[in-house]
Structure 1
Amino acid sequence: MRPTILVTGPGRGALAPRWLVAAALYRYGARPIQVRPGDILETIGHHGVVITGGHDIDPVLYAAEPEIQPRHDPERDALEAAIIDHALQQRLPLLGICRGAQLLNARCGGNLLQELRSHRRMTSNRWTVLPLKTLLVSEGSRLQQLLETSQGRINSLHNQAIDRVGEGLQVSGRDLDNIIQAVEAKDHPFLLGVQWHPEFLLLQRRQRRLFQALVHRARQQQMSN
């Protein structure tokens, strides 16, 4: 039996990244289930979660006032907040991608930088799916074990980033401007948030390992039930 992994997304659009995430999970032996606002989660038994990227999260979720013109999705915020809270309570393996990493951090009590342009000195603020940004990986982190490197190349498709790190999380990656690019939890079976989009970098074996490791932990979760 394949372990079931939820793949979250908006009510409309974002077909390519969600399909790529699902394809990576399926390749490594999981049964991906796409969930959107309005779906009834109580009927879905699952063993892991991927929170995908998308619009900025509402700053009310981390007790802040909007600093920029908002592009929020309240229904999606509510769905994914509930899924993250459940995963934390049940210690389910979870991978947060871009917005997913930011929302994970907010659910753990952290906050965000609402705009990044003023924080950049050595890196570009442009969006690109190409791996043009440098990732500096923290020594001894789970991320370093997965990527098997202390420095790599990643893409960049985000307006915001993690500022104050939430309770139980620690930084495992930054860019050349010291902006947080990854967080993780050491005392959790698999809890990882990455600011980049590994689903667009599946030709890189290192990036595929993020999905492979998630499926491995989800299978262990399945066997323990």
Structure 2
Amino acid sequence: MTDNSNKSRPLIAVTTSNRGSRMMWWLNRLSVYLAGGKAHRMTPDTGPEATRDADALLIGGGDDIGAALYQGDVSLDIRIDPKRDHLEQSALAIALERGIPVLGVCRGAQMINVFLGGSLHQEIKDAFGLKKYRRTTLPLKHVHLSSGCRLGQIMARDKITANSLHHQAIDRLAPGLNAVGRDEIGIIQAIESPDHPFLFGVQWHPEFLFWQRPHTALFKALVRHSRQ
């Protein structure tokens, strides 16, 4: 008997690193599956070509983005992956040209902003004068969503709790993007494009929160729009 279970599932291309990111990949794969889609892993080794056949693009979390892409301080001691930077910039170019849905997660949200001409805070603690900045997979951070924003409509909330695994964040917002979510400190936590049918970025990791309805709603919306 032929298995037809995947034929009705939209194909979601998910970017990861060649090394590491295994947990994020598996949780993204699970979240996409639970939302009704089928995840396809893209790495620097595979290249971005799967984006041409995919129904949507999900840019996953991982290492920091190379500072040279946004005129940042390249002397800082951060872990970068230039090959992945190239993969995701190429994948974004293809996805935006095709007009397919795009969701950026953590690093992915930052990459969307950098690709479109924005910049990053390379270290949150320095940029905001903090002694420490909590990093945890648990949903302990409060994020306020802008009234009437599309992301808030998708999540059916104007305030959510989210996790926090980043030490960098969006600084200068790229032209054509709106900051629609911020935490208590004022750090940008969510972005969206008013001109694209589905282009969102969230600074947290919704794949780690697949048991909470507002976060699973992001994956469901991605899959739903990919069917269109």
Counterpart-to-counterpart distance in 1, 2:156 and 2:224: 17
Q: Please name the residue that 1:204 is paired with.
A: 212
Once the two structures are TM-superposed, the CA of residue 96 in structure 1 deviates from its matched residue by: 0.3
Counterpart-to-counterpart distance in 2, 1:106 and 1:114: 12
Alignment of 1:165 with 2:173, yes or no, is: yes
Secondary structure of 2:140's aligned partner: strand
Normalising by structure 2, what TM-score? 0.92
Counterpart-to-counterpart distance in 1, 2:133 and 2:150: 27
- Contact 2:47–2:87 (CA under 8 A) maintained in structure 1: no
Counterpart-to-counterpart distance in 1, 2:75 and 2:141: 25
- Contact 1:121–1:177 (CA under 8 A) maintained in structure 2: no
| Residue range with higher mean Cα deviation, 57-66 or 131-140 | 57-66
Q: Please name the residue that 1:18 is paired with.
A: 25
Secondary structure of 1:68's aligned partner: coil
| Runs of 4+ deviating beyond 6 Å | none
- Contact 1:113–1:160 (CA under 8 A) maintained in structure 2: yes
Q: Please name the residue that 2:38 is paired with.
A: 31
Amino acid at match of 1:95: L
Once the two structures are TM-superposed, the CA of residue 41 in structure 1 deviates from its matched residue by: 3.7
Alignment of 1:156 with 2:164, yes or no, is: yes
Once the two structures are TM-superposed, the CA of residue 63 in structure 1 deviates from its matched residue by: 2.3
Count of residues paired in the alignment: 220
Aligned residue among 131, 145, 148 for 1:140: 148
- Contact 2:182–2:190 (CA under 8 A) maintained in structure 1: yes
Aligned residue among 195, 203, 211 for 1:195: 203
Counterpart-to-counterpart distance in 2, 1:171 and 1:177: 14
Once the two structures are TM-superposed, the CA of residue 40 in structure 1 deviates from its matched residue by: 4.2
Secondary structure of 1:181's aligned partner: strand
- Contact 1:6–1:46 (CA under 8 A) maintained in structure 2: yes
Amino acid at match of 1:174: R
Structure 2 gap segments, 5+ residues each: 1-7
Measured at CA, do residues 40 and 60 of structure 1 come closer, stay the same or move farther in structure 2, by a change above 3 Å? Answer: closer
Q: Deviations over 1:68-117 (max 9, x none)?
A: 21211011110011011111222110110000000110001000001001
Alignment of 1:183 with 2:199, yes or no, is: no
Counterpart-to-counterpart distance in 2, 1:132 and 1:2: 33
Q: Please name the residue that 2:58 is paired with.
A: 50
Counterpart-to-counterpart distance in 1, 2:200 and 2:184: 20
Secondary structure of 1:177's aligned partner: coil
- Contact 1:67–1:114 (CA under 8 A) maintained in structure 2: no
| Residue range with higher mean Cα deviation, 58-67 or 5-14 | 58-67
RMSD (Å), alpha carbons = 1.6
Q: Please name the residue that 2:10 is paired with.
A: 3
Secondary structure of 1:183's aligned partner: strand
Amino acid at match of 1:143: L
Measured at CA, do residues 196 and 215 of structure 1 come closer, stay the same or move farther in structure 2, by a change above 3 Å? Answer: same
Q: Percent identity?
A: 44
Q: Deviations over 1:157-197 (max 9, x none)?
A: 00100011111110010001111000001121110000000
Secondary structure of 1:26's aligned partner: helix
Structure 1 gap segments, 5+ residues each: 221-225
Measured at CA, do residues 206 and 41 of structure 1 come closer, stay the same or move farther in structure 2, by a change above 3 Å? Answer: same
Counterpart-to-counterpart distance in 2, 1:69 and 1:198: 28
- Contact 2:72–2:122 (CA under 8 A) maintained in structure 1: no
Amino acid at match of 2:14: V
